[in-house]
Amino acid sequence: MRRLASLSAALALVPLGRPAAGPIEEVRGGVLLQGVGPFSPDKEDGVGINAEVLFKRLEALKFIGSPRPQVGVHAATGKHATSSVYAGFNWDVEITPWLFIDGGVALAAHDGEVSFDPADPLIGERNFLGCRVLARLSADLGVEIAPRVTVSLHADHMSNAGLCSENEGLDSVGVRLGVKL
């Protein structure tokens, strides 16, 4: 809970005046329930604290829709839960002036279990992910609640896509607050 309070305080300090001229376009943070399917088993408990930075669009990648680079962290709070860091690309679509959807694809490095041992006493408490680096897919459905401030429902899935021995994957869902700089 202390981490959430710290994250909220940090977001509150972000100035809401003029947009920044730097490379960072938006900062998002929130609380995600960890290991809640639908694509992975419900083994990991607790919540994850998620923080993400979205950069300005890459016009050089216009041929794939000018995505925004993203970097983020998912800090797990459960005793045997998996934390991760990730970097990739994000595409967003404004449905109305106040409603948006977006999706991302990234590579994620995690501290979770990579080798499967049927005798492991924690077999029912952690997901077996097979590789240290995984593919990460994400999606948000959000609304603008104030000028340059958004709230969104977020879902993400990490998986090794069958490239390593075990592939239970890991899903998270939750709510995030965003501030456009």
The per-residue pLDDT for 16 is 46
The per-residue pLDDT for 128 is 82
Mean pLDDT, the chain, integer: 87
The per-residue pLDDT for 60 is 95
The pLDDT of 85-108, averaged and rounded, is: 98
Cβ(110)–Cβ(129) below 8 Å: yes
Residue type, 8: S
Q: What is the pLDDT of residues 102-122, one digit of tens each?
A: 999 999 999 998 887 777 776
Residue 181 has pLDDT above 80, yes or no: yes
The per-residue pLDDT for 3 is 46
Q: Give the count of beta carbons closer than 10 Å to the beta carbon of residue 24.
A: 12
Among candidate residues 121, 143, 113, 139, the one with its CA nearest the CA of residue 38: 139
The per-residue pLDDT for 19 is 53
Least confidently predicted of 12-16, 47-51, 62-66, 136-140 = 12-16
Cβ(3)–Cβ(34) below 8 Å: no
Host H or E run for residue 47 = strand 47-55
Q: What is the pLDDT of residues 152-163, one digit of tens each?
A: 999 999 999 888
Among candidate residues 104, 90, 98, the one with its CA nearest the CA of residue 151: 98
Check residues 151 and 169 and name the one with the higher pLDDT: 151
pLDDT band at residue 1 using 50, 70 and 90 as cut-offs: very low
Cβ(129)–Cβ(109) below 8 Å: no
The per-residue pLDDT for 21 is 65
- For 179, the token pair is 């501030």
Q: What is the pLDDT of residues 20-73, one digit of tens each?
A: 568 999 999 999 999 887 877 778 888 999 999 999 999 999 999 999 999 999
The per-residue pLDDT for 176 is 99
How is domain 2-180 classified at the architecture level of CATH? Beta Barrel (2.40)
Check residues 19 and 136 and name the one with the higher pLDDT: 136
Residue 5 has pLDDT above 90, yes or no: no
